[in-house]
């Protein structure tokens, strides 16, 4: 029988791994899953189950975290793939399993998908319009802008005119 508590002091988060007869269960896992994989390997265990708190979702930063969360039965709609510089494999896995994707590199997402991508949020100047127009060829089809127009930070007619100029 194997039992270990993994305590993450900065978050006051305790998780546990229990193992017997070559199989293990992880209870309420931390975001960094490498420590569970290492412990399982050291003790000759295969992680077969992961138990999350009732209704819990989470942030995933890579393939291993997505795999473990999905293996545990976590609803993919409650999972978010975070972080910049995502590899194609990570984006494809997130898309195929229905995870939300929150990445800094919208361009990277557009390169992976075969459907149009619309940038949303963070648009506040003509310089932002120019940056988006510069990467249009990778699949960014447009932009969703609200607050910057309503607050007067960005003039819609000027933004559209600039985008039209750059499209020529």
Per-residue pLDDT of the chain (168 residues; tens, 9 = 90+): 999 999 988 878 888 899 998 988 888 788 788 899 999 999 999 887 776 554 556 778 888 888 888 887 788 877 878 776 778 888 888 888 988 776 545 677 777 777 777 776 567 788 888 888 887 787 778 787 777 787 888 899 999 999 899 886
What is the token pair recorded at 144? Answer: 């969703």
Distance CA 85, CA 87 (A): 6
Distance CA 10, CA 7 (A): 9
Enumerate the H helices of 43-118 as residue ranges.
63-71, 88-97, 106-112
Q: Where are the domains of the chain?
A: 105-168
pLDDT at position 2 is 92
Residue 53 DSSP class: P
Secondary structure class of 92 (helix, strand, coil): helix
Pairing of strands 13-20, 23-27: antiparallel
Distance CA 95, CA 98 (A): 5
- In this prediction the pTM is 0.40
Any residues with CB less than 8 A from the CB of 56 and at least 6 apart, and which?
28, 74, 78
pLDDT at position 54 is 47
Closest to 99 (Cα-Cα) out of 117, 115, 75 = 75
Distance CA 24, CA 1 (A): 10
């Amino acid at each position: 029988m194997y039992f270990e508590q993994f305590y993450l002091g900065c978050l006051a988060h305790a998780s546990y791994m229990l193992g017997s007869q070559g199989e293990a269960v992880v209870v309420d896992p931390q975001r960094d899953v490498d420590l569970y994989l290492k412990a399982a390997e050291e003790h000759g265990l295969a992680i077969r189950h992961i138990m999350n708190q009732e209704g819990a979702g989470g942030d995933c930063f890579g393939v291993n975290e997505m795999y473990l969360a999905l293996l545990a039965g976590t609803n993919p709609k409650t999972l978010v793939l975070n972080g910049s510089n995502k590899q194609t494999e990570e984006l494809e896995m997130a898309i195929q399993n229905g995870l939300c994707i929150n990445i800094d590199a919208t361009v990277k997402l557009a390169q992976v998908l075969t459907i149009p991508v619309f940038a949303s949020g963070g648009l506040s100047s003509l310089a932002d319009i120019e940056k988006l127009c510069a990467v249009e060829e990778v699949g960014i089809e447009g932009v969703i802008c609200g607050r910057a127009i309503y607050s007067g930070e960005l003039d819609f007619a000027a933004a559209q005119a600039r985008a039209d100029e750059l499209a020529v």
